[in-house]
């Protein structure tokens, strides 16, 4: 056990396959070490469960939706108060973890929303933030232009600033969750799991390395791989899309695009978001609208010349000082979208001890701690699942409602 922990902590899942004690039966097996799976395993282990966590490519790997440098954590969610409260809870748990492991992986940059005047989703966000007790500032067009002259905003723009929100260093944060769980006794296997066969009750899953993992409960938290594992059930209900992300280098010595001058920015009227220059990696920006269908295993992960041109055109309009900035880094990840953006948390209809957890829909990363806590509580103690997370509400016709 100690050898396995040292191997993991040294390689973060990149090393050779790990053997398990012969005949071991775990209380829970979690398949997928992204933010949803890692935090579910973490909470189960903290509750005294014997947990094994599997991932085909490693925690927060380059193919995963939880990989990459940074992710936004914000509280505004229009009228969807459950996500506001989960974000609040998650930020507390993220910060507790970072303090415990000695890694400051949260940047309190603030999060600035801008939108056309009287934008319904933004107005609903203000009401929800107030009801939940989240500190925020409502900013007029004049105040926005005075505080953030580096953003060329159109006339008639309103703003909301969440000063306590910001960005998480995504890849390292997920790896910290898994490493903490392993230090405390969880077992990590860098292996792919086969789809379960049969019905009613699952006793074990096979891995690509030929091992059999036995457990009392199984949680499949495979992100964009869920519809590949369960095609008859989830194909069309979880729809992975190709999302391109760009990092542009600000001019030498120009700090207008780094904290504290620049917060995380979300343009509700633009379907675009940006994260300021953190740890000297560049100004991150991406379009938030859904891209084309994408395969997480075989999809090409190089950004295209037309997409770079489209982003430069947007920069010229909204961040003109960066329109000719060098592209210093780029990546292609994916969203795994449900029909409307609500997560999937439900029991598999063919098994009484198999759970499906996923559908992050491009906004799920931040919620890992609260979601994992929610899932672990239901696995341990039972209790109803909020209907919005049920499989029955996941349609094949997409009408995005959660942003």
As a whole number of angstroms, the distance between CA 203 and CA 196 comes to 9
Q: How much is the pLDDT for 289?
A: 93
pLDDT band at 5 (very low <50, low <70, confident <90, very high): very low
β-bridge partners, 158: 115
What mean pLDDT is reported for the chain?
A: 93
Q: What is the dihedral of CA 286, 289, 294, 299, to 10 degrees?
A: -20
As a whole number of angstroms, the distance between CA 182 and CA 246 comes to 33
Q: How much is the pLDDT for 14?
A: 35
Q: Are 255 and 202 in contact (CB under 8 A)?
A: no
β-bridge partners, 247: 284, 329
Question: Closest Cα to residue 311, out of 289, 292, 296?
Answer: 289
Please give the CATH superfamily to which domain 96-167+239-334 belongs: D-Amino Acid Oxidase, subunit A, domain 2 (3.30.9.10)
Q: How much is the pLDDT for 96?
A: 98
Please give the CATH superfamily to which domain 2-65+171-237+340-393 belongs: FAD/NAD(P)-binding domain (3.50.50.60)
For the chain, helix, strand, coil in percent to 5 are 30, 25, 45
Q: How much is the pLDDT for 19?
A: 52
pLDDT beyond 70 at 315: yes
pLDDT in tens, 113-124: 999 999 999 999
pLDDT in tens, 224-255: 999 999 999 999 999 999 999 999 999 999 99
Domain range list for the chain: 2-65+171-237+340-393, 96-167+239-334
Helix spans in 106-147 (H): 120-132, 141-147
3-class secondary structure, 136: coil
Q: How much is the pLDDT for 20?
A: 58
Mean per-residue pLDDT, 300-314 = 97
- Percentage of the chain modeled with pLDDT above 90: 89
As a whole number of angstroms, the distance between CA 346 and CA 137 comes to 37
pLDDT in tens, 125-153: 999 999 999 999 999 999 999 999 999 99
Mean per-residue pLDDT, 63-88 = 97
Q: What is the pTM of this model?
A: 0.94
String of DSSP letters for 195-258 = PP-SSB---EEEBTTS-EEEEEEEEE--GGGHHHHSHHHHBTTBEEEEEEEEEEPPPTT--TTS
Q: Are 35 and 364 in contact (CB under 8 A)?
A: yes
Long-range contacts of residues 270-277, Cβ cutoff 8 Å, at least 24 apart: 270/314, 270/318, 272/314, 272/318, 273/72, 274/319, 275/70, 275/72, 275/109, 275/167, 276/109, 276/167, 277/250
pLDDT in tens, 257-303: 999 999 999 999 899 999 999 999 999 999 999 999 999 999 999 99
Q: How much is the pLDDT for 278?
A: 98
Q: How much is the pLDDT for 221?
A: 98
Tokens of 377: 């509580």
Q: How much is the pLDDT for 208?
A: 86
Tokens of 137: 């500032």
pLDDT beyond 80 at 22: no
- Percentage of the chain modeled with pLDDT above 70: 94
pLDDT beyond 60 at 1: no
pLDDT band at 90 (very low <50, low <70, confident <90, very high): very high
């Amino acid at each position: 056990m100690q050898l396995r922990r040292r191997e993991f902590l040294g390689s973060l899942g990149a090393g050779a396959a790990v053997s398990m004690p012969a005949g071991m039966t775990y209380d829970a097996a979690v398949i997928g070490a992204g933010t949803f799976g890692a935090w579910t395993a973490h909470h189960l282990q903290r509750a005294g469960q014997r947990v094994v966590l599997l991932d085909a490519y490693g925690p927060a790997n380059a193919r995963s939706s939880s990989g990459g440098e940074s992710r936004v954590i914000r509280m505004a969610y229009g009228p969807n108060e459950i996500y506001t409260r989960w974000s609040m809870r998650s930020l507390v748990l993220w910060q507790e973890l970072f303090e415990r492991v000695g890694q400051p992986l949260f940047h309190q940059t603030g999060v600035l929303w801008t939108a056309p005047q009287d934008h319904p989703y933004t107005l609903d966000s203000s009401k929800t933030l107030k009801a939940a007790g989240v500190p925020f500032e409502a900013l007029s067009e004049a105040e926005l232009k005075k505080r953030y002259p580096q953003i060329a905003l159109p006339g008639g723009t309103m703003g909301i600033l969440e000063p306590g929100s910001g960005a998480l260093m995504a890849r390292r944060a997920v790896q910290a969750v898994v490493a903490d769980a392993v230090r405390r006794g969880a077992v990590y296997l860098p292996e792919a799991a086969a789809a379960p066969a049969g019905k009613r009750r699952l006793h074990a899953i096979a891995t690509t390395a030929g091992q059999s993992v036995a457990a009392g409960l199984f949680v499949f938290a495979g992100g964009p791989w869920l519809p590949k594992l369960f095609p008859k059930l989830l194909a069309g209900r979880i729809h992975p899309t190709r999302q391109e992300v760009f990092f542009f280098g600000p001019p030498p010595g120009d700090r207008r695009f780094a904290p504290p001058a620049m917060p995380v920015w979300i343009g509700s009227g633009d379907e675009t978001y940006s994260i300021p220059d953190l740890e000297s990696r560049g100004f991150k920006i991406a379009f938030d609208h859904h891209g084309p269908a994408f395969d997480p295993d075989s999809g090409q992960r190089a950004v295209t010349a037309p997409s770079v041109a489209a982003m430069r055109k947007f920069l010229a309009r909204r961040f003109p000082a960066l329109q000719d900035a060098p592209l210093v880094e780029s990546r292609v990840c994916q969203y795994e979208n449900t029909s409307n953006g609500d997560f999937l948390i439900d029991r598999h209809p063919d098994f009484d001890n198999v759970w499906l957890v996923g559908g992050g829909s491009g906004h799920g990363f931040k919620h890992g701690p609260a979601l994992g806590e929610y899932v672990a509580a239901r696995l341990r103690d039972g209790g109803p699942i909020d209907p919005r997370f049920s499989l029955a509400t996941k349609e094949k016709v997409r009408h995005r409602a959660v942003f």
